Structure 1
Amino acid sequence: MFTRTDDKITTTQTVVIISCFMLGSGVLTLPRTLTERVKTVDGWISLILGGLIIMLAGICIVKLCQKFPGKTMFQFLKEIVGSWIGSCMCLLMVMYFVCLSAFEIRVMAEVTMLYLLEGTPMWAIVMSFMWIGLYLITGGINSIARLFEIILPITIVVLLICLLLSSRLFDIDNLRPVLGEGIFPVIRGLKSTLLVFIGFEIMIILPAFMQYPKKGVKALIIGTSIPLVLYLITFIMVVGAMTVDGVVRSTWPTLDLIRSFEITGLLFERFEFFLLVIWIMQIFSTYTICFYAASLGLAQLSKKNIRPIMYGLLPFIFIVALLPKNMNELFDFGDFIGTVTIYLFGLFPVLLLLITTIFRIGAVKEDE
């Protein structure tokens, strides 16, 4: 069947999917991209504000989806804005998820090639991960959720251990003065924080799969809070250890921080390998859920079987992943995706929610 909303997931699994989606390449790049834009030590304030804004945008999406129980946004959008506009918007969302999955798998390939498989052709790494991701998503949302439940706890433990061990390099003076140049640098940094919190938009499909859709807001808030706390700790530790100038000069500042120390006397003296392996799994998680969302959207839009569509999207993701010629173009591509997210999943759902509320479209009363 083209719809599989009978494949239910628990509230905990929903939380895990949201957190794994958000914990993509952001931990590796966030300190640099945010510090570049803010140009002060106040990026952590931008991070908190950005997380709160994302929560509000995600709540709007959840409230909208709760008006159409058992349906994803790909299915009910036509009921709100009409067939033609709804179909065009659904296609835009499918293209968005294709581009985001391509971006994530390219970042994963870049990190793998730079630190683990030096000299391996880019296309070989990308293609390998793509086929593994295809194998996973053919099992449906439940298979994805069960894998994420394994990956997320390991990711959190490894990241916190690595950051804790790097605390000997941390200097609180590198995070002073707070708001030394006023509030405007903090506002400038909001756009960079919104990119790393990409992931809330998966709620356009998850409430349809939830056993208890009414807990969608709770799942979103918890699922967003976990990456927010991890990103906050990472930013503070990296900037506190490397200073603003050091972070801006580094492409992957978090990895550089972990590589900058070693602990003698232990079985393992260098810890960046563990962080790399775990974070490749984390970026892979983001890629797979994006791939699944794009396939599901196209299947529900065309009312066709989802499996052939999964195979059909592979070459498109592969081509888009190899389009950026270098790291600068790749990061520009990521910024573009972040900008699209603001309009497509930030402002547009708010407009849809207003329309459904005013005209009472799809409204479900509690006593029904």
Structure 2
Amino acid sequence: MESAEKISGRQFSLLIFSFIAPTVILVIPGLMSNISKQDAWMTIFPSVLIGALNIWIMIKLSKRYPGMTIVQYSSEILGKWLGKVLGCYLIYVWINFDFIILNQHIQFINTVFLMRTPSVIISLTLAILCGIAVYMGIEAIARCNEYLALLNFVFLIPLLLLMLAESDPERLRPVLGNGIFPVLQASVFPIAYISQFFILGWLLPFLNQPKKASKVSFISLFIISGLLCITLLPLIMVFGPLTEKLVFPVLSVIQYIGIEGSFERLEALAVAIWVMGCFIKISTTLFIICLSIGQIFNIRNYKDLVIPITILSVIGSVTVFRNYSTDLGNYLNSTYPSYAFFTHFVLPLTLLIIDSVKRSWRKSVH
């Protein structure tokens, strides 16, 4: 069944970029540097390979079931009840993801900007805006993102140039000083985030030119990977071994490179990039949650779910962790990488294998 809402190839590509890139750039460099030290930038190469495979899997499934989301074609592949069970698991995954992203937003804003503001106020203000965007539909989110993505690029370019001015290439040595294993071990972090191309399972039915799906998805992958690489390199060249000890390394380097006079307090740009990225990420996540619940429980209009899901998001974001910084750090370090790899990559790959086996079996029977 074709959706009435449609987004162009450019909007699609930018939406994926904004969904993945800002939080990846600001959050994971420290996690990667903790294991692979000065070779952290190399972890991007294995993650690009997994990201490319992820895109291929999601597009292959979408072509076999055009106009359907992964929640819908799971029932076609696994059967009605198993498909519903998987759909409920995916809803749980996205609700949990929504809580974590809003919680990260609270921590970031409390760390940088509004130290004494209650968590619920920070969460509520962004969640309300995101809820309004979801009510307007995915087309409105994608159009809004066209301008926000452009602003993100405009803010990032001068920051990267200033970072290069403070860089020391000697901090990148020795290359592979501890061998290749730490690089492969640390690559689980960018893989966990770049495998968020799993989102294609919900967005592809809204693309107005399905033939462009591969092109626009791979453009997003290479832009995100390239941006992560050119962020990581100067970051390591500025801070060296200190990178792994920083909670928000990019924010720290931005604070460090502030120029006296008009260019002081450059962290305001980092806040702008973060808030715009979180707005798109949470809006898209809320849209996916509402759409998935509507499809599983046969609710005609997913927009009827926007208000209760937005309220649930605010409550969940302030209660998901008892100790914000410690529990969130442990979750991002230990739980999320394996959990994300299974859900974003292994699960759709399993669906594709099962579907391929069923199709080949039908052909052999006939």
TM-score range normalised by the length of the shorter chain: over 0.9
Greater helix share, structure number: 2
Q: Quick one: distance in 1 between partners of 2:324 and 2:308?
A: 27
Please point out which of 22, 25, 28 is paired with 2:26: 28
Task: Give 1:329 shift.
Answer: 0.8
Partner of 1:80: 77
CA contact (8 A) 1:28 1:253 kept: yes
Please point out which of 84, 90, 94 is paired with 1:93: 90
User: Aligned pairs, how many?
Assistant: 357
Q: Quick one: distance in 2 between partners of 1:249 and 1:345?
A: 28
Amino acid at match of 1:89: L
- TM-score norm. by structure 2 comes to 0.93
- TM-score norm. by structure 1 comes to 0.92
Q: Quick one: distance in 2 between partners of 1:270 and 1:7?
A: 41
Partner of 1:284: 279
Q: Quick one: distance in 1 between partners of 2:195 and 2:278?
A: 12
Partner of 2:293: 298
CA contact (8 A) 2:38 2:173 kept: yes
Partner of 2:67: 70
CA contact (8 A) 1:37 1:192 kept: no
Q: Deviations over 1:185-242 (max 9, x none)?
A: 1111121112332530110011111111122111211111111111111111111100
Q: Quick one: distance in 2 between partners of 1:176 and 1:225?
A: 26
Amino acid at match of 1:354: I
Task: Give 1:132 shift.
Answer: 0.9
Partner of 1:162: 159
Amino acid at match of 1:209: F
Gaps of at least 5 residues in structure 1 are 364-368
- Are residues 1:218 and 2:218 paired? no
Q: Quick one: distance in 2 between partners of 1:22 and 1:53?
A: 15
SS of equivalent residue, structure 2 residue 359: coil
Q: Quick one: distance in 1 between partners of 2:207 and 2:339?
A: 27
Q: Quick one: distance in 1 between partners of 2:153 and 2:2?
A: 31
Task: Give 1:318 shift.
Answer: 2.3
Gaps of at least 5 residues in structure 2 are none
Q: Quick one: distance in 2 between partners of 1:206 and 1:170?
A: 39
Task: Give 1:184 shift.
Answer: 0.5
Q: Deviations over 1:224-262 (max 9, x none)?
A: 111111111111111110012x11221111111111123
CA contact (8 A) 1:137 1:292 kept: yes
The 1:321–1:334 alpha-carbon spacing in structure 2 relative to 1, beyond 3 Å, is farther
Work out the percentage of aligned pairs sharing the same amino acid. 24
Partner of 1:258: 254
Task: Give 1:341 shift.
Answer: 2.1
- Are residues 1:235 and 2:269 paired? no
Partner of 1:317: 313
Query: What stretches of structure 1 move > 4 A for 4+ residues in a row?
Result: none
SS of equivalent residue, structure 1 residue 9: coil
Amino acid at match of 1:342: F
Q: Quick one: distance in 2 between partners of 1:340 and 1:249?
A: 24
Q: Quick one: distance in 2 between partners of 1:308 and 1:333?
A: 32
Partner of 1:348: 347
Q: Quick one: distance in 2 between partners of 1:42 and 1:71?
A: 41
